[in-house]
Amino acid sequence: GLHSPEQIAAWQKITAGVHAENGRIAVQLWHTGRISHSSLQPGGGAPVAPSALSAGTRTSLRDENGHAIRADTSMPRALETEEIPGIVDDFRQAVGNARDAGFDLVELHSAHGYLLHQFLSPSANQRTDQYGGSVENRARLVLEVVDAVSKEWSADRIGIRVSPIGSFQNVDNGPNEEEDALYLISELAKRGIAYLHMSEPDWAGGKPYSEAFRQKVRDRFPGVIIGAGAYTVEKANDLI
């Protein structure tokens, strides 16, 4: 993790070693949201999510002997509106810790069915406050996090990973997934972040992006775009 002085000090040794060899090192920060288990939560409480809807999937735990096991995710509780600024501040603090630990870049994980993606999804997010309903409201938390961490460090040290097309861990992107994705991407472009990391659904059994959608993304985001998915050398070279 990156939430204690001891962890920051430990990471400093690793990042210093990378820098000593003229390397660069980034860290990905995420909040799992409902993809969790009550045994991992403070006091054995419920995981938090935009809405009290089961993830219907499994997560990783350790048994009493320390062996890795898989277990059904626990039923989450919906975050109260007044709790959400605390989530934003947790990301801000984590980015500050990453900077102090010597990382060169931070990637915000807003993909694959985890908390930020859950807020973006009209199926996982059934809120009726300013964080639910319209695409503008569902994207609000992601953009608030981007703004907060950019202020804490610098926008050019912040990247973001998104999976706006298809379904991941029972989190889908809704019937207007392309339009919603392009709204978010346009807003991210305004903020001058380091890069946009697009995770395609074809690695998880979905369809690859259409050429028309790829072009729309490129038109809206002038900066660095990273692609992830069922890529071959030939496919990657062709897209480049």
Residues acting as catalytic residues? 114
Tell me if 165 sits within 8 A of 181, measured CB to CB: yes
Question: d(Cα 168, Cα 117) in Å, to the nearest integer?
Answer: 9
Judged by phi (left if over 0) then psi (alpha if -120 to 50, else beta), residue 148 lies in alpha
Question: d(Cα 2, Cα 101) in Å, to the nearest integer?
Answer: 8
Looking at the DSSP bridge assignments, the partners of residue 224 are: 195
| Strand-pair category, 58-62 with 68-72 | antiparallel
Q: Please return the burial class of 189, using the count of CB atoms within 10 Å of its CB with bins 0-12, 13-18 and 19+.
A: middle
Q: How many helices (H) and strands (E) does the chain have?
A: 8, 11
Tell me if 164 sits within 8 A of 183, measured CB to CB: no
User: If DSSP codes are grouped into helix, strand and coil, which group holds residue 93?
Assistant: helix
- 80-84: list long-range contacts, CB under 8 Å, 24+ apart: 81/129, 81/130, 81/131, 83/48, 84/131, 84/141
User: If DSSP codes are grouped into helix, strand and coil, which group holds residue 140?
Assistant: helix
